[in-house]
Amino acid sequence: MTALQHPASSTLKGLRRASVILVIVALAVCAVLGIVLLLAGAWGDTQGRVLVTAFVVALFATTALCHLAQVDRPLRAVGFAGIAASVLALVPALVLVWADWWTMGGDTAAWWWKSLAVLGILAGSLAQANLLLLLAGRRRSAVRIVLAITLVMIAVVAVMIWLPILSDGDIPGVDGEWYWRLFGVAAILDGLGTIVLPVLGLVLREAPAGFAVLALRGPESALPRLDALAAEDGSTRAQAAQALLLRGLEDR
């Protein structure tokens, strides 16, 4: 019998498929248009805007894929927040590509650029966080500690970039040497955690659900008998030891 697929699961798969197709189509448009323009030598304003538009759409569709990895998990709220941030960031990006922003009033143009910077940083930070949160269910303390530190550093880096943008440079001000030094420290820890965390997830394997990890000491002379039992059952030494332990507990 074929299991019925949950409607929400079908919708999620459809969204992921659509995002992948959008990324591929946008990158293909970039590649084809770039090749044509280079060979034909006919570079105009419209062609340039089309090329940038395709690149921007591909970029934000890629961040959406990162967010979609989290929307069917317990922390789905972060995934949905990331999708909203990517969609909102795409709006000022397209406005700045197609509008003659240099002819706008200074305040209007600055508002669009600030919106793009703030929302773009938010979308990128949440994309990074949503990928790392795939390891949120791990029980290993090392993984959980590194994950928590890295998430904090992602937030710190984002906020420390936002503040100078939103305050027009009033933060950190003229004497901002220590501000940027601390920013550098946070950025290094952010990058380090992002690299180390997936490696820890691979190295520190999780115990199977429902099983406890026991470290037992026994006489070395018992190992040949354990190996013989494992050979009879076609199992491993660990599986044979587990079977003996369970059998002994059941006989109590």
Q: Using one digit for the tens of pLDDT, what is the confidence trace for 5-56?
A: 445 566 767 777 777 787 788 778 778 877 877 777 667 787 788 888 888 8
Helix (H) or strand (E) holding 219: none
Q: Which two tokens stand for residue 86?
A: 């990517």
Cα 104 to chain center, whole Å? 36
Nearest partner of 71 among 56, 82, 85, 60, judged by Cα: 82
The residue with tokens 């952010």 is: 190
DSSP string for 5-48: PPHHHHHHHHHHHHHHHHHHHHHHHHHHHHHHHHHH----HHHH
Q: Using one digit for the tens of pLDDT, what is the confidence trace for 97-110?
A: 998 877 777 788 89
**Residues 133, 76: contact at Cβ < 8 Å?**
no
**Residues 79, 69: contact at Cβ < 8 Å?**
yes
Nearest partner of 220 among 237, 235, 232, judged by Cα: 237
What whole-number percentage of the chain has pLDDT above 90?
Answer: 38
Residue range 139-162: mean pLDDT, rounded: 94
**Torsion angle in degrees (nearest 10) through CA of 163, 169, 173, 178:** 50
- Phi, psi (degrees; rounded to nearest 5) at 134: -65, -20
**Residues 183, 157: contact at Cβ < 8 Å?**
yes
pLDDT at 1 over 50: no
pLDDT at 119 over 90: yes
